Amino acid sequence: MRIDFSMARLSLSNGILPELAVVVQNVKFDSSNRCWMNPLGEVDELRLPIDLFHLLQGRIAISQVNLEHADLKFRSPWEACRKTSFFNEPVKRESEPTAPAAVPAPSVGGEAATGPSAVATTKPETKPETKPEMISGLGIRSLRVSYAPLAGAEIEINRLRVEQLNGEIFKVTGNVNLGGLTFSGDFLSRAQFQVLYSRTKADLAVRGSWREGKYSLLVQADLLAKTFEGKGQMAHFPLSQIFSLMQKYDPAFGDLDGRQAWINLALSTQGPQKIGEPPVLRFDKIQMEGDLGSVEADKFVIQKWHPLELSGAAFYLRGLKIEKILSLFENEKKPASLGSLGEFNGILRSQASGNYELQGEFSGLEFIFSNRGERRTQAIGLMEGRISYDHGRWNMLFEKIRPTDGLFLGTATLAGEVGQNAVEAEIHIEELSLGPEVQDLMSGGGHLGRWAGDLKAQFDHEGLHKLQGQFFGQDLRMEGFEAAKVRGTVSMAGDRIHLELGHSGVRILSDSRVRALLDPLLDSVLAGEKISSLPAKELMMVFDFVPRESLKWRIKPATFADIWVRSEGQWDSAGRLEGKVAFLHRGAERRWSISGHRDNPVFTVAENSEKGPRRLSGEITGGISGGETGASSESERSPDEAPTDEVPTGQEQGRRGEDVGH
């Protein structure tokens, strides 16, 4: 160890009090010993009081060392000591007896004697030692200790005193302040501590407070066996201070904020533990309480820390507020489609090999539906299920979902890997109907009926990536459109969703928005004939769209009353619209091109629109940028190829519409 100082002087007073002392200023020391954690220290002033009584007797006696302000920094991790003899040498509790030293026997006639008398059996005479005056005490007014391998780890010790340095057992006392750079928040922890140390044992006792919480710790170490035992307690201790401590050791805890939670616990080591190894801890009680709910557990043991493995743990969760839990992780964002996230009650159990299972129920979850500036809430009164964790993979299963208004019969599952954002979801619906108010809003005064189906999806933090499934509906009425039955399939490739819908028992009522849009077109086809509603046995529609960007549609030929209808088109991300629609009534066909904006479509009579019997090509194609309808246009046929579809009339037209619909 290297020690430097700037100056030393003789002082006759300490403040207003007389004192004869040697004062050393600006003391610096450092050591490259890694087992000492490569320490570096600075002391602004060191005082060595001289005993005046001994000085008058001609002796200089210094029994106390006093320091004003000292900084001590440990620059290397303490794990370096694992390779030293302290952790690796065999345990040796008592000194082994040694044979008496052999000394030469007195010489006889100038020659050394030989034989048994040559070994001395008594100790040689020694002069009595004079025990020099030794330093027996150390006092430090303020000591700041920092640990460089852990950024910001720092404590401050005030009024540190070391007593009985020259005795068999010496004592260390002081007051510890934790806070400042080490932990977040404006509050400091103040604790009194005491250490009793000897060559074979060390005892540590700490008792302190932090904000409104109190804590205590007792550790007893056997330095010969290199083991320790300990126990501790916390009472109404703020969880935010624990998270601040954990963040220094693991960045994964960097998003935790426990300002609204407190903890009570009592723990101890499970028998003697090896110094330098993660301890096995037994919790006799743990309770967390606060605005976010309560968590309680009785006796359990932490067997392993990495990965965490608990033995016999059962945590009882009561009234956990999900939004408060998210704020605990400083993640208060939620989708706009969700209202209250409700609360959770259940039991978390630890299983073998670090696996866990959480079983319980959610209540009070709300989904928000909006249409034309109005909002309605669909509340979920109860969701029962379980979540399991097994070797890095988690699975979530909801077996019972009970809306406050409405009905849900089925199951929902979610699964994923820890550390990955991808989530797989499967939903099986036997029957689903939303609440009356939600149905009224989303259907424009009608109802959405009942639904069933099976869906599979995969998504991550960027959104939906995979979707596939089928669904069925009954008794649908919305915006003047009625369907006795609906069937559909959905799939997803890249960011584009493909949706096929089939309707049976369809009617478009005269007071519907769709009818208001179609009436000007129907008037030119019907030539003054009035139809109160437009019934159809079958209606097939195909959609390809990118959510919130673009959409393509295709209405397969269908017969409404005695009018044959078909259409296709698209709009882009700016809402620019282009498409075609055709009506066929009693042998006369009318075609329109569609343009404008999706919220304000414009219909223009097509140049090739005619009245009277003519031959048709089946599907409307051409003129739609990027459209793929799966049918050939007249321009794509060879000159020698005759059109295949004749204009249906009368009963033939009705039958043809039914066949195409299927």
Q: Which domain holds residue 147?
A: 1-80+134-167
Q: Is residue 583 part of a domain?
A: yes
Residue 47 lies in a domain: yes
State pLDDT tens for residues 1-23: 888 999 989 888 887 888 888 99
Task: Please give the DSSP secondary-structure letter assigned to residue 155.
Answer: E
Q: Is residue 64 part of a domain?
A: yes
58 is a domain residue: yes
Label residue 619 by pLDDT band (50, 70, 90). very low
Using only C-alpha atoms, the chain has a radius of gyration, in whole angstroms, of: 43
Average predicted confidence (pLDDT) for the chain: 79
Which of these three, 118, 143, 167, is where a domain ends? Answer: 167
Q: Which residue has the tokens 């009356």?
A: 436
Q: What is the mean pLDDT of residues 361-376?
A: 90
Please choose, from the candidates 541, 533, 591, 542, the residue with its C-alpha nearest in 3D space to the C-alpha of residue 562.
Answer: 533
Number of domains in the chain: 2
Residue 481 lies in a domain: no
- CA–CA separation, 74 vs 41, rounded Å? 9
Domain boundary among 167, 189, 216: 167
| pLDDT (tens digit per residue) in 229-244 | 999 999 998 877 666 6
532-555: average pLDDT: 90
DSSP H or E stretch at residue 360: strand 356-363
- Of the candidates 246, 253, 179, 254, the one whose C-alpha atom is nearest the C-alpha of residue 210 is 179
Least confident of 105-119, 179-193, 420-434, 445-459: 105-119
* Range with top average pLDDT, 374-378, 464-468, 513-517, 643-647: 374-378
> Hey, what amino acid is at 66?
N
* Any domain includes 192: no
The residue ranking higher by pLDDT, 483 or 106, is 483
- Domain boundary pick from 167, 188, 212: 167
Instruction: Let me know: does 340 contact 324? Beta carbons within 8 Å.
Output: no
Residue range 488-502: average pLDDT?
A: 93
Per-residue model confidence (pLDDT) at position 251: 54
In a domain, 625, yes or no: yes
Residue 322 lies in a domain: no
Q: Model's pTM, two decimal places?
A: 0.65
The two beta strands, 261-269 and 213-222, are unpaired
- pLDDT band at residue 248 under the 50/70/90 scheme: low
Count CA atoms closer than 13 A to 186's CA, side-chain side.
Answer: 0
